Amino acid sequence: MGRQTILIDADDTLWENNIFFEQMIGRFLSGLAHLGFTAEYCRHILNETERRNILQHGYGVKSFRRSLEDTYLKLAGGMARKEYVQEIEKMAGELERTPPQILDGVPETLAYLSGRHRLILLTKGEAAEQAAKVERSGLARYFDAVEIVPEKDHATYERVVHQFKIVKSNGWMVGNSPRSDINPALRAGLNAVFIPHHATWVLEHSELESGGGKLILVATFRELRGHF
Ligand SMILES: [Mg+2]
């Protein structure tokens, strides 16, 4: 295999991310128990609120905090308390300060891959927040470039291919999300490596589609070494 260009997702591919959001949602929902709704119903309202807020405000902790507050105000109605809104803000602050927890085998595998191929980190989210995570992860040195984008869709991949002059047959996207990493990359004619993560966010769930390029499935980041 000659030198390839490998685009690599960050959240839930290089480091844990969604588990911290899920922990906070668990705390949030237990704080709503006295309102008398089922946890499933509250979660449904939260998911719908997130979908709407992401369109308007993008991804990231600030948008997530807004979704929790909107959900709380909607469900609590006249029973809403200022103290709980402040509690949400406090939890969001903790979430923002949580250091990246690097997944098993990632640094040594990146060290191996970066010696043979061009690596580009491609993550979506709020620019300053994602940049801070990349910085604190200590993994930036393995990458030729770090791209932080508001959304990862077909147009994003076409733009990145153009920007980095990637020959599609030698280009790969590696990630845990069928919706953001695998399907749009394949549709753009790139190859893809799917690394499922058990805690992938429900809004990232999607059926895997086929596309122009090759699709490889591996169980762990470390297994990339066997393919590149
Ligand atoms: Mg991800």
Domains 5-16+100-226 and 18-97 equal at CATH topology level: no
CA of 151 to the centre of ligand 1 (A): 12
pLDDT by residue for the chain (228 residues), tens only, comes to: 899 999 999 999 999 999 999 999 999 999 999 999 999 999 999 999 999 999 999 888 999 999 999 999 999 999 999 999 999 999 999 999 888 899 999 999 999 999 999 999 999 999 999 999 999 999 999 999 999 999 999 999 999 999 999 999 999 999 999 999 999 999 999 999 999 998 777 666 777 777 678 999 999 999 999 999
Distance CA 6, CA 172 (A): 5
CB of 11 closer than 8 Å to CB of 125: yes
CA of 78 to the centre of ligand 1 (A): 38
CATH code for the domain defined by 18-97: 1.10.150.240
CA of 95 to the centre of ligand 1 (A): 17
Provide the token pair at 140.
Answer: 């930036």
CA of 81 to the centre of ligand 1 (A): 34
CATH architecture of 5-16+100-226: 3-Layer(aba) Sandwich (3.40)
Q: Which residue intervals of the chain are DSSP H helices?
A: 18-30, 39-57, 61-76, 82-97, 106-114, 127-137, 154-163, 183-187
Q: Which of 153, 187, 174, 134 is nearest to 55 (CA)?
A: 153
pTM as predicted: 0.90
Structural domain spans, the chain: 5-16+100-226, 18-97
CA of 34 to the centre of ligand 1 (A): 34
CA of 216 to the centre of ligand 1 (A): 16
Strands 101-102 and 15-16: antiparallel
